[in-house]
Amino acid sequence: MRIAMVGTGYVGLVSGACFSDFGHHVSCVDKDEAKIAALERGVMPIFEPGLAQLVERNVAGGRLSFTTDLALAVGGAEAVFIAVGTPSRRGDGHADLSHVFAATEEIARALRGPAVVVTKSTVPVGTGDEVERIIRETAPDATAWIVSNPEFLREGAAIEDFKRPDRIVVGTDDERAAELMREIYRPLYLNKAPLMITGRRTAELIKYAANAFLATKITFINEIADLCEIVGADVQDVSRGIGLDNRIGPKFLHAGPGYGGSCFPKDTVALLKTAEDHQSPLRIVESVVKVNDLRKRAMGRKVIQALGGDARGKTVALLGLTFKPNTDDMRDAPSIAIVQALQDAGARVRGYDPEGVEQARPLMPEVEFAPDPYKAAEGADAVVLVTEWDVLRALDLKRLAAIMAQSVFIDLRNIYPAEEMENAGFRWHGVGRTPSA
């Protein structure tokens, strides 16, 4: 099948590359000429494990191509996916759909034959109706079926998620469109991935509801972690104890500095705005957003308290800056608020991240970036483990303690056992656990 993927951001590029790996012929479109030229040279705009190799293989096989010419890509396509950005709109928090609607209008003018037009971008309920209206008004003679097909990709594991999904959600009431979508995803049938056909508005809401629920689990266990520290309980045991209940499950119950990234922050806010517009408030999600925003700054205060309540003139090394491992994404990363809190308190901050430094530089202009974790920690009064990259899971603790001015370690991901840290000479502070003496 011939597919046009409009947008070569995270979702568009991963989806286009994976579809081409299934044997479809995919043309990825973007207005950014420099990005397209880089992709044609094999240079990826994002860090995602395995993506460069996947793109290279399918470009070489003639199944994947890149272009700035939307009309050329869409004209011969049987399926057109809209995978452009939907960031929070400045000023009110609503999802900014300007790119979606602009792409829709261009697609409508470029359609030459029957095609499904599929919204892959995360969009509020009712967006598909507006996409359909634009296409009908712009190209009244076009034969196009408008479908919602939300993505559920985790950054750092996106290719695996695409090829072995928990579910594939397709929102359409038209059987012809449903059949075309089944054909597109047919290669996944061997993996027995459930394909769920539902109404278009339902599909749009499934994506937001899923992200809001996961954000709620994260925020819940973070608040329980705070209570654990006060009453002398261990949040890791609490997490395990409740996660063994099949009704709850263990995933997203790891206490930490709060959620960030490209999805949870903007999607929870966009869902709240949709609920407000329809006079159906979501009080739980409101609390989740508020608690998570406050938590990130609170982690900075946690570091200051570990330094005796005064960080002025002291050096703090942050290990891991991206919002999660295996990505270079700094969007709404907890490290941003932590750095700001430490600098406001007069601390000097050094940072290390295996992949995120270039993205972090403009967000943290006064931070000194180090080439490895030990250079970051040299002469530091405290080390803060913010993001649990594999390279940070087995640090040489004796070496680390020897090069620091003070042996203070704040483990915001609870990677290291307290006893091991104490044996290495550290004053250790975890999240939701009793600190060492």
What tokens does 405 get?
């001015």
What tokens does 355 get?
């992949």
Strands (E), 105-225: 115-119, 144-148, 168-171, 195-198
Taking every pair of Cα atoms in the chain, the longest distance, rounded to a whole number of angstroms, is 75
Contacts of 77 (CB under 8 A, 6+ apart): 2, 3, 4, 27, 115
Sign of CA dihedral 273, 274, 277, 279: negative
Q: Can you tell me the distance from the alpha carbon of 343 to that of 367, in angstroms, rounded to the nearest whole number?
A: 9
What tokens does 110 get?
């470029």
Catalytic residue annotation: 263
Sign of CA dihedral 179, 182, 184, 186: negative
Please report which helix (H) or strand (E) contains residue 26, including its range.
strand 25-29
What tokens does 257 get?
């500095």
Q: Can you tell me the distance from the alpha carbon of 371 to that of 29, in angstroms, rounded to the nearest whole number?
A: 35
